[in-house]
Amino acid sequence: MYGIEDSQQQLFSYVNLEARIPVDHAVRPLRELVDGILKGNGRPFDYVYSKEGRPSIPPERL
């Protein structure tokens, strides 16, 4: 005879991160500032990434 099924709680969350952070939260302007800096620094990072294999993830996405 099998034991009692104890189901797990939901493993993955499919809520958009933008929906979790309030519109007036202090992290939003900071994110815009950092994203702008990282996008502007794309050229110095170009020589580090390989031209072969899977495309890399841009630093501003990480």
pLDDT band of residue 49 (cuts 50, 70, 90) is confident
pLDDT band of residue 2 (cuts 50, 70, 90) is low
Query: Cα 1 vs. chain centroid, distance in angstroms?
Result: 45
Q: Where are the domains of the chain?
A: 24-50
Residue 29 and residue 22 in contact, taking contact as beta carbons nearer than 8 Å: no
Q: What is the pLDDT of residues 7-31, one digit of tens each?
A: 666 677 788 878 888 999 999 999 8
